[in-house]
Amino acid sequence: MSAVSLSTQLINLFASVILLLAFAMLAQRRVLPLINLFALQGLTLCLSTLVVAFTTGQAHLYGSAALTLLLKAMLLPWILHRLVRQLQVRADVEGLINIPATMIAGIVLVMIAFNVALPISQLSSTISRGTLGIALATVMLAFLMMIIRTKAIPQVVGFLAMENGLFLAATSATYGMPMVVELGIALDVLVGVIILGVFFFQIREQFDSLDIRNLEKLKEH
């Protein structure tokens, strides 16, 4: 078995794990395990990027993998864990639809994603082009999670998971983005999470809950 063939299989394996973790996050009803799943997804994305970097010799991908490990697998989960502890979030994550219906919707989205990505992946010449459908499916599952969750923190986790899918798509199609762009996106994501953390405290102080449906009450004033 050639090194390229082995690398391709590893990349596909890691991409499949990322998709499975996206489904697990979609079905998860506890906040802390949801954050842990996001951290594990970030770690898997880092490993996938390292395999692509080693196989193709794209040096900037090593920096991308290190940034992913630091930000997605360590720093952001740590910040979210601190927010959960300080906000004393203990309740289950509420959803607008039940888990079986959510899983069915997720499967439909995955089928759509694979059919949309197939003609695009055929135009790419990268060794990771086969994971483009998985990347698009991960984005769509994360977007679904943002739609069906009523609490603020799970919606933020969904947004961050969507960014994971976009990064995987960039790696699949073009071996990632320039490092300057990735650093800019990483900084924007980090600052955004910090600002949202402040926003969470304001919601909790005003409504004694992180249910975003309470924001509809502001329309009456």
Give residue-wise pLDDT tens across range 143-202: 998 888 877 788 888 888 988 988 888 887 777 666 556 666 666 676 667 666 666 655
**Coil/strand/helix, residue 30:** coil
Whole-model pTM: value is 0.83
On whether the CB atoms of residues 168 and 45 are closer than 8 A, the answer is: yes
**67-101 pLDDT, tens digit each:** 889 988 998 899 888 888 877 766 556 667 888 88
Instruction: Give helix 152-174 / helix 179-207 axis angle, nearest 10°.
Output: 170
Phi, then psi, of 211 in degrees rounded to 5 = -70, 120
Instruction: Please classify residue 19 by burial: count the beta carbons closer than 10 Å to its beta carbon, then call 0-12 exposed, 13-18 middle and 19+ buried.
Output: buried
**134-145 pLDDT, tens digit each:** 999 999 999 998
On whether the CB atoms of residues 53 and 59 are closer than 8 A, the answer is: yes
Rounded to an integer, what distance in angstroms lies between the CA atom of residue 210 and that of residue 150?
A: 8
Strands, DSSP E only, in 54-132? none
